[in-house]
Structure 1
Amino acid sequence: MNVLVIGLGSIATRHIDAVRQLDADAHIYALRSGRNGKEVNGVRNLYSIDEVAASGIDFAIISNPTSCHAAAVKSLLPLRLPMLIEKPVFDSVSYRQLAVDLKSARVPNCVACNLRFLDSIEFLRRYISENDSRRVNEVNVYCGSYLPEWRKGVSDWRQTYSARRDLGGGVHLDLIHDIDYVCSIFGLPVASRGIVRNVSTLGIDAADYANFTLIYPTFCASVILDYYRRDYKRCCEIVFEDTTWTLDIPTDKITDSDGNIVFKGNTSVADTYLLQMRYFMNLVAERRYECSNDALEACDILAISTDYERFD
């Protein structure tokens, strides 16, 4: 299998590792913006779309900075290559027409929101779908982590795209996973409200705090995200009429308000990258055009995360 990668950062490394676990003989190519780029072992460099077209590529992974996703999709669209697009799909919903064009051209595409593949989130998605008569009164989602420690070996974390607004960074985009999995479980909200800020001690110009309220017909879901929490925490509370379930994402476990285990999965967040890649590679192999999170669906979720008031 021949795989093209656009953007050779840390997330690309995860995707490449997943490809190689699933296909040890896969050939990895990278479309480079110039000839001064760092050589990566086992990756062959390409420098033009013409070279891409001549290389027999089976699918592409778009993992460059978010602000460059739209240009990458537009350049590959005429080749009709299946695309795995790193989240968020774009940095603005103004590029929605590109997602429509992908669907119209029947180009297989999937946006990489790997938390959808965590066992406990898949359990919740099934449970809510199959028990729609059980009343949910409230949902509370939180993710707090420490951006300076995200990427080991980076000389200046403030120059990573996550920390820079001009590259499409900001916690409301970087941690769109948490809005995404809420929507995958409960569907799209009827409305949303959001605020973002960047007034923490991190001193970056991208948003380092975000607070969204997703409004559903009979409940609201609160999603709070930040870049500055040193003790990593990622969780989701579902407040039913008679009990509260708490999902702890790092341990893939759901407990009720009495401490009883409702569900215990067997995946780690690291495992979800492999599960996601297996899903996508099967989609490509089977020539299927519909997936659980294509660019058009991802644009609906992006519309939530980019509709906010900013208070700096």
Structure 2
Amino acid sequence: MKVCFFGLGSIGKKHLKNLCKIAKEKDINLDVHAFRTRKNSLELKGLDKEIYSKKLLEEDYDIIFVTNPTFKHFETIKMMENKTKNMFIEKPIFDNINYDITDIKFENGIYYVAAPLRYTGIVDKLKEIIKDKNVYSIRSICSSYLPDWRPNQDYREVYSAKKELGGGVSIDLIHEWDYLTYLFGFPKRVVNFQGKYSHLEIDSEDLSIYIAEYEDKLLELHLDYFGIRSKREVEIYTKEGTIIGDFIKEEISFTSDEKDKINFLANEDMYIAEMRHFIEMVLDNKNNPNSPEHAYNVLKLIKESEKNESINNNLW
């Protein structure tokens, strides 16, 4: 299997390591290329060839991994659409919605956009639990401390800190909207308030709060970069009680007498589980749980909700 990585930063390296693990399990011979813009050898385990010119890219890759900065995704996908039939695209699919997704040939293959939270077990179990519930409201939060994300790097220099590179919690933490739309569908209306409020030395937004309206319920979503104690969970309020999915503790708990707690102590890292499923999609043409079209619609939801009209100051 011949693959090519575009971008081998922290997430690209993680995917390469996991790809090598899964390939060994499945007895797949890998030929791994990496397209580079800087001539500094990586010397990564599992990497066979570094390419520094577009002219030297081959024409028949089995998989392209688009793991470079978000603002480069569209041009990378366009450049490689005729050189492969399968792509693994890191989230978010693009940095904005000004691109025409219909310009890309997403056909006759697997084009998957990363959604690792789907592989914790919690999301699918929640979907099963709520299918016969009358949900009144949902409250979701993802709060963590950006300087702790990449301990060996200056947080001020990573893409998350830089708006022009696609940084900011609204896009960086797009996983929350991915699983929320998977569970509850797309809302009919969303408002969003965001900005830079903390001491962090970044120019991207470090706080983003959404209120979403459905036909029969409301949803609140809180995202931030400054939570000293990490918190990632969803609370689902129903007639029978509250269902709480905690992605850090890897458990689902209930306030009703129906159940006490369901634990999901992971057998493996969610990124490894995701890579395994992706390779199985490519080999066996399995169903794609996160297509480019769905990922683009999630991005569109986020970007269009940013266009809030000013609140009338004469309300009082």
TM-score under structure 1 normalisation?
0.90
1:236–1:246 CA contact under 8 A, matched in 2:
yes
Q: Distance in 1 between matches of 2:42 and 2:276?
A: 28
1:121 paired residue number: 123
Point out where structure 2 has 5 or more consecutive residues left out of the alignment: 311-316
Is 2:292 aligned against 1:295? yes
Superposition map of 1:1-312 within 5 A:
1-24=1-24, 25-36=29-40, 38-43=42-47, 44-54=49-59, 56-98=60-102, 101-103=104-106, 105-128=107-130, 130-131=131-132, 134-154=133-153, 156-257=154-255, 260-267=259-266, 271-287=269-285, 291-306=288-303, 307-308=305-306
Offset at residue 180 of structure 1 (A): 0.8
AA at the equivalent of 1:33: T
- 3-state SS of the aligned residue for 2:98? helix
Higher relative helix content: 1
Matching residue's letter, 1:42: G
141-150 vs 107-116, greater mean Cα deviation: 107-116
Task: Report the 3-state secondary structure (helix = DSSP H, G, I; strand = E; otherwise coil) of the residue aligned with 1:172.
Answer: helix
Residues in 2 aligned to 1:193 and 1:37: alpha-carbon distance in whole angstroms = 46
- Give the Cα–Cα distance (whole angstroms) in 1 for the partners of residues 82 and 98 of structure 2: 20
Between 204-213 and 253-262, the greater mean CA deviation after superposition: 253-262
Q: Give me the whole-angstrom Cα distance separating, in 2, the residues matched to 1:80 and 1:191.
A: 37
Q: Encode CA deviations 1:19-42: one digit per residue, 9 max, x unaligned.
A: 111113423211112324644343
C-alpha spacing 1:96/1:183, structure 2 compared with 1 (3 Å): farther
**CA distance in structure 1 between the partners assigned to 2:212 and 2:109 by the alignment:** 31
SS at match of 1:95: coil
Count of aligned residue pairs for this structure pair = 302
- The Cα shift of 1:126 comes to 2.6
The residue type paired with residue 113 of structure 2 is V
Q: Distance in 1 between matches of 2:227 and 2:100?
A: 33
In 2, Cα distance between equivalents of 1:191 and 1:106: 34
Code of the residue aligned with 2:298 in structure 1: it is I
CA-CA distance at 1:221 after TM superposition: 1.1
Residue deviations 1:250-308 (CA, integer Å, cap 9, x gap): 1221111258534222427x7111111111111111245x5111111001101122231
Deviation, structure 1 residue 309: 5.0
- Contact in 2 for aligned 1:96/1:299 (Cα 8 Å): no
- Flag structure 1 segments of 5+ consecutive residues without an equivalent: none
Task: Give yes or no for contact 1:253–1:261 (8 Å, CA) kept in 2.
Answer: no
Tell whether the 8 Å contact from 1:66 to 1:88 is kept in structure 2 after alignment. yes
CA distance in 2, matches of 1:102, 1:279: 23
Give, as a single letter, the amino acid of the residue that structure 2 aligns with 1:286. D
Contact 1:195–1:309 (CA<8 Å) still a contact in 2? no
Equivalent position amino acid for 1:14 in 2: K
Relative contact order: is structure 1 or structure 2 higher (C-alpha 8 Å, sep ≥ 6)?
A: 1
Distance 2:142 2:194 in 1: 14
State the one-letter code of the partner of 2:129.
Answer: Y
Contact 2:61 2:84 in 1 (8 A): no
**Structure 1 residues 50, 125: closer, same or farther in 2, change over 3 A?**
farther
The structural deviation recorded for 1:87 is 0.5
Please identify the structure whose Cα radius of gyration is greater. Answer: 2
Q: Secondary structure at the match of 2:199?
A: coil
TM-score, structure 2 as length reference? 0.89
**RMSD between superposed Cα atoms in Å:** 2.1
**Closer, same or farther in 2 for the Cα pair 1:38/1:21, shift >3 Å?**
closer
* Bigger shift: residues 25-34 or 291-300: 25-34
